Amino acid sequence: MKEKMILILIVGILALGGFGASAFKVDSEDIRNIDIKEKCLLNNINGQSGLQEEWNKTFGGRFFDHILDGKKTNDGFYIVCGSTRSFDNENGENEDGWLLKTDTYGNEIWNKTYDKMEEDVLARVHQTSDNGYILNGWIISSDGKYHDSWIIKTDEYGVEIWNNTFGGIYIDYSYSNIVETSDDGYLLSGFSNSYGDFDGDLWVLKIDGNGNEEWNKTFGGAKRDYGVDIINAHDGGYIILGNTFSYGEGDSDCWIIKIDDNGNEQWSKTFGDNFYNNVRRIRKTGDGGYIVVGTSFYVIDAEFDYFYLDFDIWVFKIDLLGNLKWETTIGDRFVEEFANSIQPSSDSGFLISGMMIDKSNGKTDGLLMKIDGNGCVEWKNIFGGLKHEDTFKVIQTENDDYVVFGYTNSYGEGDYDAWIIKFSYFENERPHTPNKPIGPLAGRIMDYCDYSCIGTEPEGQEIYYLFNWGDGYDSGWLGPYDSGESCIATYFWSDQGDYEIRVKIKDVHGGESDWSDPLSVRMPRNMVLKNFVLLRFIDRLGESFPLMKYIIKILEE
């Protein structure tokens, strides 16, 4: 009765005071306006698969050492490149290019360092037709005078045959894959502001087998544009993957250019939205198309000065001529996800490696996931230790074995060490479908309610719970819990209505159960004064009607 009296009194004062509808507006939909941005629903993750670690190795010394690229070699071993401050360097001040070879079990066979300037980095490695290696990277002098692309050719043991730098008087660097051409030369891509527009353009460089420049070309507009990857095209010529600030819809978009053998553009396409998009790798697909992976950055703001920044993995597929077939973003609002590489799997799906940053504490872990041929997530796993930065840079696949290369701050000898892990695929029995959630069947909007659920895992593994609240939002994964241990989640609804709460669980390998039976709940409108929306009205009204809060206090007594 008091609630009705209060409501009538407020409406009357609003009418007498001439307050319009625009005086104070609360859009309850904006209060938690967070877009999960995952085209494939969570129940598409089948959880039938898992990864089993076969071996885990670190390499390095007391200073910074890291891997930027890795490949399987023709003899079945592994070759990785990056940079090191620990080897051939007494105080760790200078950075040298680093090449390391291991056997099939991750045991070091040999490692080589290459020194040109004060900062020397090798970003990509490619095994050549003579079983040697071609390395692509950059050099920077301590005075900043030199900032050039750096290419090294070695024999099969990493012994240098030649090394050359390329660029002009300003900043030029290359970090794409290196493609062997039919005339025994090499083609690569990167960035240059010595040539083309001063802000920097996408740069394509062609050299012969002895490391001599044959031609170089730039592509770009008035803003910064750069290349990150290059591959042989299905129909001859080459596909260049880059990022552009000059073209497209937003601050940064994906830019794909098709060129012929002489570097002449045949077509180009941009992909992205009005936010920030950044791509890293492109690979051929078995149907004559291409798959691209990168990261999308979203800015989402809501009522009451809430402000959300979110990075998600971005994957899209194009056909032979660059026409978009499908795209998806994969992410969770509680973490930031970044993709560094993608590789086709044996079942027409794709494996993605990268990193995940927990928004609550800034901790970074290596991320490995599998998507099917339509971009739907099949499984997702994270790997890392107690410290704050563990990252996977690239993944290589063969049948059902996966090898990931990166660097870690949690394991090894120094601040950062090179990190290689080999996984094998295995079948994982899915957790049992959890019980129907338990909790109140009715409540009031903006009032918190507790709901509990019990789930079990057939092998007794730890489990995580996910509550779907029936209004487009979920709890995020909660846990870990012991198998059979109850989980309690708390939630409030901002709009009146009928909702169905469902719960699913997943095990430590990413295997997920089916959704539980739904619990139906009803949330009528809450008119009690604890409702913070009503309190906002009262605060505003109190400025013009000092007696308002006093009258309400009397009605409450």
pLDDT digits (tens, 9 = 90+) for 157-177: 999 999 999 998 899 999 899
Decide if pLDDT at 466 tops 50: yes
- Cβ contacts of 23 within 8 Å, gap of 6 or more: 540
Bridge-based pairing state of the strands 265-271 and 179-180: unpaired
Q: Which amino acid is at 115?
A: D
Distance, CA of 103 to CA of 403 (rounded, Å): 12
State the average pLDDT over residues 214-220: 95
- Mean pLDDT of the region 513-536: 71
Convert the pLDDT of each residue in 221-279 to its tens digit.
Answer: 999 999 999 999 999 999 999 999 999 887 899 999 999 999 999 999 999 987 888 99
Q: What is the pLDDT of residue 86?
A: 83
DSSP string spanning 416-436? BEEEEEEEEEEE-PPPPPPPP
Higher pLDDT, 29 or 12: 12
Please tell me the predicted confidence (pLDDT) of residue 411.
79
Cα of first residue to Cα of last residue in the chain, in angstroms, is 12
**Residue 287's closest CA among 243, 350, 368?**
350
pLDDT, one tens digit per residue, over 15-44 is 333 333 322 222 222 222 223 333 444 434
Eight-class DSSP state of 157: T
User: What is the helix (H) or strand (E) element at residue 50, kind and residue range?
Assistant: strand 49-59
- The angle formed by the CA atoms of residues 170, 174 and 176, to the nearest 5 degrees, is 160
Residue 529: what pLDDT? 39
Q: What percent of the chain has pLDDT over 90?
A: 53
* pLDDT of residue 11 exceeding 50: no
What is the reported pLDDT for 17?
A: 36
For residues 29, 35, 36, 39, the Cα torsion angle rounded to the nearest 10 degrees is 110
Distance CA 394, CA 336 (A): 18
Given this model, what pLDDT does residue 537 score? 52
> Which of 430, 454, 447 has its CA nearest to residue 503?
454
What is the predicted pLDDT for the residue at 14? 34
Please report where in the chains the tokens 């957790």 appear, as a residue.
431
Angstrom distance (rounded) from CA 370 to CA 400? 12
- Give the model's pLDDT for residue 347: 85
Confidence of residue 471 (pLDDT cuts 50, 70, 90): very high
Q: Are strands 213-219 and 201-207 parallel, antiparallel or unpaired?
A: antiparallel
Q: What is the mean pLDDT of residues 523-536?
A: 53
User: What CA–CA distance (Å, rounded) separates 529 from 6?
Assistant: 9
3-state SS assignment for residue 304: helix
Per-residue confidence (pLDDT) for residue 49, from 0 to 100: 54
Q: Which residue has the higher pLDDT, 269 or 53?
A: 269
Span 401-418, mean pLDDT?
82
| Eight-state DSSP code of residue 305 | G
Question: Is the pLDDT reported for residue 292 higher than 50?
Answer: yes
One-letter amino acid of 16: L
Indicate the pLDDT class of residue 303, thresholds 50, 70 and 90. Answer: very low
**In which band, very low, low, confident or very high, does the pLDDT at 346 lie, cut at 50, 70 and 90?**
confident
**What pLDDT is recorded for position 387?**
65
Edge-first strand order for the sheet with 49-59 is: 49-59, 417-427, 401-408, 390-398
Domains in the chain, CATH or no CATH each: 2-18+532-556 (no CATH), 275-427 (2.120.10.10), 431-523 (2.60.40.10)
